[in-house]
């Protein structure tokens, strides 16, 4: 019991620190790839604290609640991960976190925010089936939804679920809202949707959304690591490698349109995951 | 200088407003964002959204049409905020000062904190101006706090 408490505390405090640092390194590497010098590695933290100190301009009173639930559901999902709980439940809670943000963006009257929210819904439509198939594949292999059973399973999951892992890597780009799928909140400002989903959030609210993004990153990297556990350090290395791959993809891709994304994700993501799972059934 | 102030100075997000400029200054402002000058090393990001911005970079002079727009964008920015006026037009109206429809520089409509002279100024000068203006954030934040305190006292007195 006390162990669990300590693990949870470490996760809640440590995850955003590592996540923020990773985003800082991301910005630095992106700058280097574009032949620029780039901001300091601590830049995300400077942004975060600066936003906390801004005057708060709330468009309506309910907005803050949605931002907070966006954050709390993400923390809950992280806790389920580190406490090795139910993977299926984790996915639902994780989805709830995104839905809170969507509702928050829908609660204002700015068209940019609304279009951003609609695009985010399209993104969810694209990646949720893949995530569910992944959970299903894990169940098929280990016979349980619990993350503990993945860790107890004698072989790393990647041997039985290589294509599911590929599909998960594919949706990782969508989940992180990176190019070519960065259309719900354009990664760089000054584009057709200003800042999409987050246009109407400012100051503290934006800081909390940023914080949630760090938690999200850690959850996703944790899920990647699960495929290679045990030993866990291999998983962590692979997760970091996957994140580096994301940075490169982010820099070499132009943005696609949402119909293209849905078609491609359902075809490639759901397709490969399904092939993998059907293969599991056919295996003697 | 606390953590908050360091962060403020290290992460100024700008919004670029073209307010009756001839586009000369705008090209130089945008040039400052390119890999050649790379203002992101100071944490400067061009956000294009007044609600996220800390520094307004305004180019050109003001006429009756743009005055309303400029004021509107300025009001949407959350405190503490800075305004940087670029170019000769940003100071006095420059070569357009005598035109029948020109009111003068942006300081006729909103409070300007720093001016970068030149027609157009070089990107180096613009970066210099932006970095110099950041020193004003501390005083601005203090003023913001005092204003909030006064508003709270007034609300209390009324209640
Ligand atoms: S200062 Fe010169 S370059 Fe800049 S907007 Fe005015 S006329 Fe154009």
Reported as a single tens digit per residue, the pLDDT across B93-128 is: 888 888 898 888 888 889 998 899 888 899 999 888
Tokens of A223: 């899920």
Q: What is the mean pLDDT of residues A104-114?
A: 86
Q: What is the ipTM of this complex?
A: 0.86
Closest atom of ligand 1 relative to the B87 alpha carbon:
1
Instruction: Note whether B79 contacts A54, CB cutoff 8 Å.
Output: yes
Q: Phi, psi at residue B57, to the nearest 5°?
A: -105, 110
How many folded domains does chain A comprise?
Answer: 1
Q: What is the mean pLDDT of residues A210-230?
A: 88
Length, in residues, of chain A: 284
Lowest mean pLDDT among A55-59, A193-197, B69-73: A193-197
Give the distance (Å) from ligand 1 centre to CA of residue A195.
Answer: 29
DSSP string over A30-90: HHHHTT-----TTHHHHHHHHHHTSPP--SSTTHHHHHHHHHHHHHHHHHHHHTT-BHHHH
Average per-residue pLDDT for chain B: 86
Separation CA B107–CA A267 (nearest Å):
56
B35 touches chain A (CB under 8 A): yes
pLDDT above 70 (res A284)? no
In the structure, what pLDDT confidence band is assigned to residue A189 with cuts at 50, 70 and 90? low
pLDDT above 90 covers what percent of chain B?
Answer: 9
Separation CA A60–CA A179 (nearest Å):
31
Instruction: Note whether A46 contacts B40, CB cutoff 8 Å.
Output: no
Residue B80: cis peptide before it, omega within 30 degrees of 0: yes
A94 touches chain B (CB under 8 A): no
- Enumerate domains of chain B plus CATH numbers: 3-158 (3.40.50.12280)
A46 touches chain B (CB under 8 A): yes
pLDDT above 60 (res A190)? no
Which has more confidence, A126 or A179?
A126
Interface size, chain A vs chain B, as Cβ–Cβ contacts under 8 Å: 90
pLDDT above 70 (res B53)? yes
Give the distance (Å) from ligand 1 centre to CA of residue B117.
Answer: 10
Residue of A nearest to B5 (CA): A50
Residue B32 confidence (pLDDT): 86
Q: Are A102 and A243 in contact (CB under 8 A)?
A: no
Q: What is the mean pLDDT of residues A250-275?
A: 86
Q: What is the mean pLDDT of residues A57-74?
A: 87
Which residue's C-alpha comes closest to atom 5 of ligand 1?
A: B21
Q: Which residues of B touch A190 (CB under 8 A)?
A: 46-48
Average per-residue pLDDT for chain A: 86
pLDDT tens digits for A204-218?
888 999 899 999 999
In the structure, what pLDDT confidence band is assigned to residue A188 with cuts at 50, 70 and 90? low
A208 touches chain B (CB under 8 A): no
Give the distance (Å) from ligand 1 centre to CA of residue B120.
Answer: 5
In the structure, what pLDDT confidence band is assigned to residue A152 with cuts at 50, 70 and 90? confident
pLDDT above 70 (res A191)? no
Lowest mean pLDDT among A28-32, A57-61, A78-82, B63-67: A57-61
Q: What is the mean pLDDT of residues B45-74?
A: 89
Q: What's the pTM?
A: 0.89
Residue of A nearest to B30 (CA): A190
What range defines the domain where residue A102 resides?
A: 2-282
Q: What is the mean pLDDT of residues A256-262?
A: 85
pLDDT above 70 covers what percent of chain A?
Answer: 96
Which has more confidence, A138 or A59?
A138
pLDDT above 90 (res B20)? no
Separation CA B40–CA B38 (nearest Å):
5
Give per-residue burial for A150-163: e unless 16+ CB within 10 Å, then b.
beebeebbbebbeb
First to last CA, chain B: 36
A40 touches chain B (CB under 8 A): yes
């Amino acid at each position: 019991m006390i162990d669990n408490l300590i693990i949870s505390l470490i996760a809640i405090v440590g995850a955003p620190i590592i996540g923020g640092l990773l985003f800082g390194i991301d910005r630095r590497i992106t700058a280097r790839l574009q032949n620029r010098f780039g901001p300091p590695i601590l830049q995300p933290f400077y942004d975060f604290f600066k936003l906390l100190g801004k005057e708060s301009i709330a468009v309506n009173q309910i907005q803050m609640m949605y931002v907070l639930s966006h954050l709390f559901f993400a923390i809950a999902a992280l806790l389920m991960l580190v406490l090795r709980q139910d993977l299926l439940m984790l996915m639902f809670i994780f989805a709830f976190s995104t839905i809170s943000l969507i509702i928050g963006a829908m609660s204002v009257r700015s068209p940019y925010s609304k279009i951003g929210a609609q695009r985010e819904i399209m993104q969810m439509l694209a990646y949720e089936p893949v995530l569910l198939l992944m959970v299903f594949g894990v169940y098929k292999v280990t016979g349980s939804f619990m993350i503990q059973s993945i860790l107890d399973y004698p072989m790393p999951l990647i041997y039985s679920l290589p294509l599911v892992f590929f599909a998960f890597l594919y949706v990782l780009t969508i989940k992180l809202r990176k190019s070519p799928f960065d259309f719900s909140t354009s990664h760089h400002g000054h584009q057709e949707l200003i800042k999409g989903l987050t246009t109407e959030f400012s100051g503290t609210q934006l800081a909390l959304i940023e914080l949630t993004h760090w938690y999200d990153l850690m959850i996703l990297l944790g899920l990647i690591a699960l495929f290679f556990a045990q030993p866990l350090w291999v998983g962590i290395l692979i997760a970091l490698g996957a994140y580096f791959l994301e940075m490169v993809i982010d820099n070499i891709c132009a943005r696609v349109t949402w119909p293209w994304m849905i078609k491609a994700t359902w075809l490639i993501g759901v397709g490969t995951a399904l092939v993998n799972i059907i293969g599991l059934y056919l295996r003697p | 200088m606390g953590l908050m102030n360091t962060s403020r100075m290290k992460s100024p997000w700008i919004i670029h407003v073209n307010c009756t400029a001839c586009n000369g200054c705008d090209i130089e402002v945008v040039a400052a964002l390119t890999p050649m000058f790379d203002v992101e090393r100071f944490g400067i990001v061009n956000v294009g959204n007044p609600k996220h911005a800390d520094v307004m970079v305004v180019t050109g002079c003001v006429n009756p049409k743009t005055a309303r727009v400029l004021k509107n964008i300025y009001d949407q920015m959350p405190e503490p905020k800075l305004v940087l006026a670029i170019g000769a037009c940003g100071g006095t109206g420059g070569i357009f000062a005598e035109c029948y429809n020109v009111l003068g520089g942006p300081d006729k409509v909103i409070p300007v904190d720093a001016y970068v002279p030149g027609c157009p100024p070089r990107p180096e000068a613009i970066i210099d101006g932006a970095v110099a203006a950041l020193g004003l954030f501390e005083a601005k934040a203090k003023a913001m706090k005092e204003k909030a305190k006064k508003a709270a006292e007034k609300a209390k007195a009324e209640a």
